[in-house]
Amino acid sequence: MLLRLENIEKSYKNNFEEKNVLNGISLKIRDNDIVTIYGNSGVGKSTLLNIVSGIINPDKGIVNFNGKIVDNSNKLSIRKKMISILLQKDNLLPEFNVSDNMILPLIINGFKYMEAESRVNEVLDYLDMKNYKLRYPNHLSSGEYQRISLLRCICKKPKLIIADEPTANLDEKNCEQLMKLIVKLNKDYGMAFLIASHDKRFKKVSTLEYELFNGDLKINE
């Protein structure tokens, strides 16, 4: 089992009032799953993703990633080596071209430049997008921008890609292209996906679907 959440709880204080966001959430993700969590804005989808990625800690419960219980001693290492995060926007630095945007996270993660450049070229070749290397983010369409952002996620060969509302700014055509890319990466690279979205079109590509409402996570049959 790649990821197992057990009885995750999280609450926040707002104007001296405590709000329960997650009430005993449990979830399992296998190596090749594409799991989508639906829910309205503010129900806690991003909070749950941030707990999985180790950005924030749960108040209670256990996060088990790839057979290891995640805690403060190992969560940064796990995120750097095995998890990539795709946001709905602002994934790329505007002052760098596509190639440098893809190389930079690898350098930060300890890769030597030549190895990082080789991985980026391999990934761009994989989708016949090598001609995008020297383009800058402001010269990309919204669809190209998000596909490049997703390709950047796979360069370090993570086990899990976490995507927070990845289609929020895309039209129908670009949404379909991004979903096809997710399926292709899942199949060819064996990477699991955990997606938080309003977009019910993910039903076509998901192996498991959940609904988050009032702090409870329920599987969609």
**Contacts for 172 with CB less than 8 Å, ≥ 6 apart:** none
SS3 119: helix
The answer to whether residues 78 and 53 touch, using CB atoms and an 8 Å cutoff, is no
Q: What is the pLDDT of residue 96?
A: 97
Task: Tell whether the model's pLDDT for residue 221 goes beyond 80.
Answer: no
CATH topology of domain 3-219: Rossmann fold (3.40.50)
> Cα 196 from chain centroid?
9
Give Dmax over CA atoms of the chain in angstroms: 54
Q: Do the strands 83-86 and 216-219 form a parallel or antiparallel pair, or are they unpaired?
A: unpaired
Within 8 A by CB and 6+ apart from 120, the residues are 99, 102, 103, 106, 133, 155
From residue 90, alpha-carbon distances to 93, 136, 146, 184 in Å are 7, 13, 9, 24
CA 172 to CA 165: how far, in whole Å? 14
Question: Alpha-carbon distance 133 to 121, whole Å?
Answer: 9
Residue 125 pLDDT: 94
Place of tokens 């994934």: 91
Q: What is the pLDDT of residue 140?
A: 94
pLDDT digits (tens, 9 = 90+) for 140-191: 999 999 999 999 999 999 999 999 999 988 999 999 999 999 999 999 999 9
Cα–Cα separations (whole angstroms), residue 138 to 90, 127, 141, 156: 11, 21, 8, 24
Mean pLDDT of all residues in 108-128: 94
pLDDT of residue 88: 80
Percentage of the chain surpassing pLDDT 70?
100
pLDDT number for residue 18: 83
Phi, psi of 176 (to 5 degrees): -60, -40
Nearest by Cα to 165 from 98, 79, 90: 90
> What gap in Å lies between CA 212 and CA 155, rounded to an integer?
31
- Give the integer Cα–Cα distance in Å for 113 and 123: 15
Amino acid at 124: L
Rg of the chain in Å (alpha carbons): 17
pLDDT per residue as tens digits for the range 40-96: 888 899 999 999 999 999 999 999 999 999 999 999 999 999 999 998 887 899 999
Strands 192-197 and 17-29: unpaired
| Contact indicator for 30, 16 with CB cutoff of 8 Å | no
Alpha helices in 45-163 (DSSP H): 45-53, 75-82, 98-108, 113-126, 142-154
